[in-house]
Structure 1
Amino acid sequence: MLTAQVKKVINCCIPVTNVKESAEWYVKHLGCRYEGEIREGDTFLRLSSGPDLNLLKVDETVQWKLNGFVIPIIHIHTDDANALHQYLKLNGVSVEDVVDHSWIGYSFAMYDPDGNKILIWQANDLLDS
């Protein structure tokens, strides 16, 4: 019988082909804080809350698909999807249109320099409480 309790996700690994360029991109566009290089090809970033991000050097990235739909590598919460979408678009980031999910909230997809799909989510106030 399991006696230890699994508590939460503390780290997400994101495959990238250029760690330095990707770290700069995540800092500039998502407001991550650069914490440093753990070892060559492994950089540690921190968001304002939630799991930390490790950018890991790979030879090539792969986008996973289900019925033609590219599966996001990570979902990130924001308090204003429309404002973030506008900022990213004005700064040349590849973004899809904002989707209004009615009473649930808003979302849109964006892509990092390696084509990793990131889903940005703004939950409705009713879901945040």
Structure 2
Amino acid sequence: MSKLLRVGTTYLPVKNIKEAVHWYVSNLDAVLNYEDNDKAILDLANQSFFLVKVNEKQNSNFVDSYGNERFTLTFEVNGLTELEKLHQDLSEKGVKIGEIEDRGHAGNNFIFYDLDGNKFDVWSELSPDFKKRYLEDGVASESK
């Protein structure tokens, strides 16, 4: 049996493709690869993100068994300094963000929301495998 090797694409519901593309490009430095009236394809964080037009207000979040709204995706940055810089940058751009938190595990996190209310997490720790494969080979930049 073959193993799943990576997540290639994440699909996100958005109400307005053009506005969502502008938000992701200007706030998260995503790269636009394709856009039409129904979808857009972005490169972001070493992955493809498809922004898919929806008719009704909906997002990718879910509610856990305790009634808490949860995110479906955690981004990683390389260390606390980078987390703090990103938090400050998003705050200055007017993005809805939460406070930097210590959740009792390695590193710190904060959450943010896109225009459509899709909730994301950011963690200050890169996975060891990512560091080994990409940072040690000089493919990914530590300061990006």
Deviations 1:34-85 (A, max 9, x none): 1112x53110000252x21000001221441112221113211122111100
* 1:17 and 2:19 are equivalent in the alignment: no
**What TM-score do you get using the length of structure 2 for normalisation?**
0.77
The counterpart of 2:109, out of the listed 98, 107, 110, is 107
Compared CA separation, residues 124 and 100, structure 1 to 2 (3 A): farther
Match for residue 135 of structure 2?
none
Give the Cα separation in 1 of the matches to 2:9 and 2:111.
Answer: 21
* 1:42 and 2:42 are equivalent in the alignment: no
Query: Which residue identity lines up with residue 16 of structure 1 in the other structure?
Result: V
Match for residue 75 of structure 1?
74
Compared CA separation, residues 124 and 55, structure 1 to 2 (3 A): closer
* 1:54 and 2:56 are equivalent in the alignment: no
% identical equivalent positions? 26
Match for residue 25 of structure 2?
27
- Secondary structure in 1 matching 2:115: coil
Larger strand proportion, structure 1 or 2?
Answer: 1
Q: Structure 1 residue 8: deviation in Å?
A: 1.6
Structure 2 unaligned blocks of 5 or more: 133-144
Q: Structure 1 residue 31: deviation in Å?
A: 1.1
**What TM-score do you get using the length of structure 1 for normalisation?**
0.85
Structure 1 stretch displaced more, 113-122 or 102-111: 102-111
- Secondary structure in 1 matching 2:19: helix
- Secondary structure in 1 matching 2:124: strand
Cα RMSD of the aligned pairs, angstroms, is: 2.2
Structure 1 unaligned blocks of 5 or more: none
